[in-house]
Amino acid sequence: MKLEELKQKMDEAHYIYDDTLATVLSVALELGRPLLIEGAAGVGKTEIAKVMAKALDRDLVRLQCYEGLDESKALYEWNYQKQLLAIQVNMGNQDADKLTRSLFSDEYLLERPLLQSIRSEKPVVLLIDEIDKADEEFEAFLLELLSDMQVSIPEVGTIGAKTVPFVVLTSNRARPLSEALRRRCAYLYIQYPDVEKELAILRAKLPHVDDQLCAQVAVAVHKLRSNEAILKKPSIAETLDWAAALDALGVKELTPDALRHTAGFVLKNSEDLEAVQQLDAGEHACHCGGHCGGHHHD
Amino acid sequence: MPATVAAIAEAITMTDPSVYTRKIAAFCRMLRLEGLTAGPQETADACRILTVVGMEDRSRVKTALRTVFAKTREEQETFERVFDGFFVSEEAMRRQAEEYAKREREMEQARRQTEEELLLNGQPMDFDDRQREAYATMPPEERQKLRSFMDRYKESAARNPDLYSNFIHSVFAKSILEQQMLMEDAALGCGSADPELGLMYRDISEFKDTEIPKAIAAIQTVAQQINGELSAKRSRGGRGGKLDFRRTIRKGLETGGSFYRLSFRKKRHRKKRLVILCDVSGSMVQFSEFALRFIQSLNHASESSRIFLFSEELVEADVFSLENMDKFRSYVKESGTYGRGTDVGKALQKLCTASPPVLNDATTLLVLSDTKTVDLPKALQALTEAKRLSGRVLWLNPIPAHKWQYLRSAQAVASMCHMAACNDLRSLSQACRRLAQLQD
């Protein structure tokens, strides 16, 4: 897909992007490489996969990684209990070889996201979310899929992809990923958006919210993120939640009171809330960067 | 219009693929020299993508190639540097050439001046070319200081060359050595452009007070990573165990003898004890605080650890009193060990002879110190004894590894036990990861 075409599709999906992101996505698509996206929590890594599914008009197949994830949860599993029942029911009715063969057929195969994505008739977008949470063995197991778009099941053999999915892997850098995995992927590192981009996101996602309030929220969030005392930086989703909450409360302007009452939407631990309260006692509490025009500083 | 001519020329060359494939091949060589993985696959991908993206838009070419070649955020930094150096515009190239020529002229002049200044009693002083080069790059005021010093002792050196020549030489050598260290730091790019990356790569002792919360947050993130890695490893150990026949059969009885649910054995886990010997003399306090915070954040290392603080005396620390930086500092001050000289030998000796014994086969001794101590032979002897008593000895040194060659104590300790340089948070986190793996 050409870059301009991709940009048009992302515009249609109402996704706010910059040139770098569009170029990286276009390169990954052009080369047919999986895309590894790294960045802090809440910068919009997972959203990219969702938008790509929308832009490419494909289904999204999602594999959420966690400690202890193995191929039985990610690729396939034999329906052991059903196989056991089939053996007991058909004991003496069929010849043994036929029964054994039938036990390892599609009927007893439980497809998990990875297998589902390569056996799909229509190409899909495969999201392997938070790969850093999975074990190193699982990473090694993914290599075959990522480089050759095939998987090996001992009882069946090698299963090649019917259609090639666009694979997006995300990582919060909770642990370093292996060199082998990285080499197979195109790489993108994303950071928190700047004020303009965040404002554009707010406008696109919450068109009904007052523009001035959106601007104040965007600036305030930017200030919070750049504040060293804030340990858990607010994510884009939290910015949206905050703006929506302020709007639902009928707040037209981000005053220190409004900030105090709704800070829980954007800051999620007590230390950060305390830090903001301490700042609040200081000279310019609303973190509006002067955008409020000093209305509330009586 | 030279810009248009250049654009046309570039467009013409782009029609011939061999031109940019040669360029890309050369660029890949540069990337490899900088430590990036630029194999045949990446080179082929880069060529393929350039035919699609074209060469007209420099920033687009940069993004496309970065996607192919740089696979971590750190590699992206390196890539940017190499790209900017390799794909330069004609104007930038001319500017660079002019700057280079100017620098060369200045260096040549400085070299000539160095020859004149490094003369003692009419004879050239005994310095090699690298040392002379370091002298030439010294700031003028430093060189002026050395010249004044030389002038002051010139007559004495002429009267008694044996005594004063060595003295003058040693003063010059010390200043030159410091300059060499500064040059090495500059070459390593200690101040990174990215503030977050910069914090990980900057010398811990250079942290400002305002940066400490950020550094602590970075430590906690990395410690969380390490904890995550180890718990993932451990859960794998349990799952990969053998089939537990007894449990499986017992559960099978519930379903009429069919084994619907399989049970697996889990491995038993035994942890090693960690003994931390922590230098809190003057300049070491900040490093020790960071290192201890790191180690305490590691579940697997901290659960069974004992901490000893030392300078000239050895004091066992109460782990709960070291929770935050203020508490740590006041605790260290109260312990009477703060701001005094360092006697590693005495501390190790006391640790070895403690009753009941602190060190045994099941303990790992971790020393946080820059190795600078009074009575080095005694320290080395005590280290040998500590090594014999404990299962393993690890040494975390806040002095960067490339400077160990200038320190006799660092060289001696490194030859006796595993010593890791931990001058910045990145190397400290690497050392702590290794430690946690060993402890697990």
Q: Does domain B215-240+271-439 have CATH number 3.20.20.70?
A: no
Inter-axis angle of helices A45-55 and A3-12, nearest 10? 100
Confidence label for B304 from pLDDT (cuts 50, 70 and 90):
low
Interface list for chain A against chain B, based on CB atoms closer than 8 Å: 3, 19-20, 23-24, 27-28, 30-31, 33, 36, 38, 67-68, 70, 80-81, 84, 88, 132-137, 173-176, 179, 182-183, 185-189, 228-229, 231
Q: Which of B41, B73, B211 lies at the smallest CB-CB distance from A38? A: B73
State the DSSP string of B309-354. Answer: EESSSEEEEPGGGGSSHHHHHHHHHHTT-TT----HHHHHHHHHT-
- The predicted structure's pLDDT at residue B15: 52
pLDDT exceeds cutoff 80 at B45: yes
Which burial class, exposed, middle or buried, applies to A182 when counting CB atoms under 10 A from its CB (0-12, 13-18, 19+)?
Answer: buried
Q: Which of B66, B214, B229 lies at the smallest CB-CB distance from A228? A: B214
Domain ranges of chain B: 2-87, 92-187, 215-240+271-439
- The predicted structure's pLDDT at residue A253: 86
List, in sequence order, every residue forming a beta bridge with B276; answer none if it has no partner. B307, B366
Q: Which residues of B touch A88 (CB under 8 A)?
A: 258
> What's this model's pTM, rounded to 2 decimal places?
0.63
- The predicted structure's pLDDT at residue B317: 76
- Choose between A86 and B214: higher pLDDT: A86
In terms of CATH architecture, what is A3-75+112-189? 3-Layer(aba) Sandwich (3.40)
Binary contact (B60, A19; C-beta < 8 A): yes
Q: Which residues of A touch B260 (CB under 8 A)?
A: 80-81, 84
Distance from CA of A183 to the nearest CA of B (A): 7
Classify the C-alpha dihedral B362-B368-B374-B380 as positive or negative: positive
Domain ranges of chain A: 3-75+112-189, 195-280
- pLDDT tens readout for residues A154-196: 888 888 899 999 999 999 887 778 889 999 999 999 989 999 9
- pLDDT tens readout for residues B350-370: 888 888 888 888 788 888 888
Binary contact (B73, A189; C-beta < 8 A): yes
Q: Which residues of A touch B233 (CB under 8 A)?
A: 135-136
Tokens describing residue A213 = 């309030």
Q: How many beta-carbon pairs under 8 angstroms link A with B?
A: 94
Closest CA to A47 of A266, A244, A236, A187: A236
Binary contact (A182, B71; C-beta < 8 A): yes
Binary contact (A175, B225; C-beta < 8 A): yes
Binary contact (A135, B49; C-beta < 8 A): no
Which burial class, exposed, middle or buried, applies to B297 when counting CB atoms under 10 A from its CB (0-12, 13-18, 19+)?
Answer: buried
Confidence label for B319 from pLDDT (cuts 50, 70 and 90):
low
Residue A247: CA atoms inside 13 Å, Cβ hemisphere, count? Answer: 20
Inter-axis angle of helices B58-69 and A19-31, nearest 10? 50
Mean pLDDT of chain A: 85
pLDDT exceeds cutoff 80 at B48: yes
- pLDDT tens readout for residues B8-38: 444 444 456 666 778 888 889 989 988 888 8
Binary contact (A84, B37; C-beta < 8 A): no
